[in-house]
Amino acid sequence: MAKVVIIGAGFAGHTAALYLGDKLGKEHSVTMINRFDEFAYIPSWIWVSVGHMNPEKTMFKLAPVYKRMKVNFIHGAATEVHPDKDEQYVLVDEANGSTTKVEYDYLVIATGPKLNFAGTPGLGPDQGGFTYSVCSLPHVIQTRDRYLELVEEMKQGKKVKMVIGAGHPSATCQGAAFEFIVNVHKDLVNKGIRNQAELLWLSNEAALGDFGVRGIKATVNGELLPSEEFIGAIFKDHDIQWQVQTAVQKVDAEKIYWENYAGEYGETEYDFAMLIPQFLGQPLKYVGADGSDVSEKIVNKPGFVLVDGIYGLPYDQLERNPDAWPSQYQNPNYTNIFAAGIAFAPPGSISRPHTTPNGTNITAAPPRTGMVSGVIGRIVALNIIDLVKRGRMTHSERMSEMVAACIASMGDSLWDGSAAVMVMYPVVPDMKRFPSEDGRDEFVTHMEMGLSGAWMKRMLHETFIWKLKGLPGWKIIPE
């Protein structure tokens, strides 16, 4: 009997658990280890953050789903991985206070990010920080509560400046910040107080609309349009100011201190700031049979799991080599360890890196959330199923082969809401296949904005929660 263990029930890990339970759960052991006993549908937290959705509508209990899918569930935090052949197991501090040793034949690390607020002094809502976040549910609720307080103050005539974007030179997940700022705009318009707020987009992107994926180009109304112009048009229409090519250095109660591409230092006053932190790998210990630290065989310095990519290439070589991106997400030193979602180490950035004259690296990290996470979780699960049943892997999909869609809502109303829909193929540009199209297929790559996007966003909320509950037909719904 094969023993498969998954650490982390986010999009990647939970998707992997569904497939593994479905195909292996009857004859083999599949175990999920997760710090929380609920699944969180993170894309809808933006609606929670402006008070338009109850948090409970974005959550569901994991235990009933795993019981139905024949997956063992351990509610607790994995602390150590012991990967050597003599004894392969994970140590878990369970929620009930006990410590459990969970043996494995195959291990999937899908832990999601450690939110490195400490990487920017003064960042974050905890430990003396001054900014807000939409990266965890407690932070989303804090953000909502403070935002709604500001709304009441604006109704009394107060003018406020809100700064939203990225809070570290290598932050990623600009899409979540973008969706937050446009939802704030829409909510303030509906409340009749938009003129009381100044909105500023502050980002480490190389250009507006870059989003850490080198931007996209798509035909809009018969004209080839770059995402910089597409997002710029939205911001101009919404009276949102922007400042890109900027790295936040520190924050205090009144000002955000930053450095830009040119190496210039500056500061921005604010009343409210929601800034995405740097993402790091979760701090698991990797312990050899003799008790030694074997982490360098498994993770890079930021804590992300090394897989079957080509690491260390200069950017000019990386951007011309789509095969440098991993295809099976398998660790080369311990081949029964896989990583999925944010947990895997990318071979480099998708957007061109930039170092300022002062030596600061301002480069958005590659996004590996949402649809990308789900696809990778499926690929990893299908390959483990292959190994258990056939002894060889037959599935692969690089991010340079992967399509991804992002739907950023601008309000949640199905009657006067809107959404920006962006589809890119592939996620990582492939200059070999599409040399004249900036590395992407212009027939598939697409951008549009309108009410239909709002309906699509709501449909995704309902259908993905259905899928992630493992309800009838779940496999028909794509990741």
What pLDDT was estimated at residue 417?
77
What pLDDT was estimated at residue 359?
98
Helical segments of 343-436, H only: 371-389
Q: Dump pLDDT digits (tens) for 464-478.
A: 999 999 999 999 999
What pLDDT was estimated at residue 10?
97
What pLDDT was estimated at residue 377?
98
Percentage of the chain lying above the pLDDT 90 cut: 90
Both tokens assigned to 392: 């060889």
- The partner residues of 421 in beta bridges, in order of sequence, read 407, 448
Q: For the ranges 330-344, 408-422, 454-468, which has the lowest average pLDDT?
A: 408-422
What pLDDT was estimated at residue 111?
96
Cα–Cα distance for residue pair 260/248, rounded to 1 Å: 9
Domains of the chain: 3-114+279-389 (3.50.50.100)
Per-residue CA distances from 104 to 65, 110, 221 (Å): 22, 15, 53
Both tokens assigned to 421: 């829909």
Percentage of the chain lying above the pLDDT 70 cut: 100
Cα–Cα distance for residue pair 333/327, rounded to 1 Å: 16
User: Which residues 6+ apart lie within 8 Å of 361 measured at CB?
Assistant: 169, 170, 353, 354, 355
What pLDDT was estimated at residue 357?
98
Cα–Cα distance for residue pair 11/373, rounded to 1 Å: 6
| pTM for the structure as a whole | 0.96
Please determine, for residue 247, whether its predicted confidence score (pLDDT) is greater than 90.
yes
Q: Dump pLDDT digits (tens) for 178-212.
A: 999 999 999 999 999 999 999 999 999 999 999 99
Q: Dump pLDDT digits (tens) for 31-88.
A: 999 999 999 999 999 999 999 999 999 999 999 999 999 999 999 999 999 999 888 9
What pLDDT was estimated at residue 221?
78
What pLDDT was estimated at residue 410?
82
Q: On the CB side of 442, how many CA atoms lie within 13 Å of its CA? A: 15
User: Which residues 6+ apart lie within 8 Å of 263 measured at CB?
Assistant: 356, 357, 358, 360
Closest Cα to residue 69, out of 12, 28, 106, 122? 28
Helical segments of 5-102, H only: 11-24, 45-49, 62-68
Amino acid at 466: W
C-alpha 384, offset from chain centre = 24
Q: Dump pLDDT digits (tens) for 414-449.
A: 787 788 889 999 999 999 999 988 999 999 999 998
The pair phi, psi for residue 437, each rounded to 5°, is: -125, 30
The pair phi, psi for residue 201, each rounded to 5°, is: -95, 120
What pLDDT was estimated at residue 137?
96
Cβ atoms of 377 and 347 closer than 8 Å: no
Cα–Cα distance for residue pair 59/351, rounded to 1 Å: 33
Q: Could you tell me where the beta strands, DSSP code E, fall in 139-262?
A: 160-166, 197-202, 217-220, 223-226, 240-243, 246-251, 255-260
Q: Dump pLDDT digits (tens) for 113-142.
A: 999 999 999 999 988 899 999 999 999 999
- pLDDT band at 284; cut points 50, 70, 90: very high
Please determine, for residue 411, whether its predicted confidence score (pLDDT) is greater than 90.
no
Triad 393, 80, 69: Cα angle to 5°? 50
Q: Report the side by side order of strands in the sheet with 160-166.
A: 240-243, 197-202, 160-166, 272-276
What pLDDT was estimated at residue 419?
87
What pLDDT was estimated at residue 144?
98
- Three-class DSSP category at 151: helix
What pLDDT was estimated at residue 415?
80
Cβ atoms of 248 and 471 closer than 8 Å: no
Cβ atoms of 113 and 280 closer than 8 Å: yes
What pLDDT was estimated at residue 219?
82
State mean pLDDT over 105-120. Answer: 97
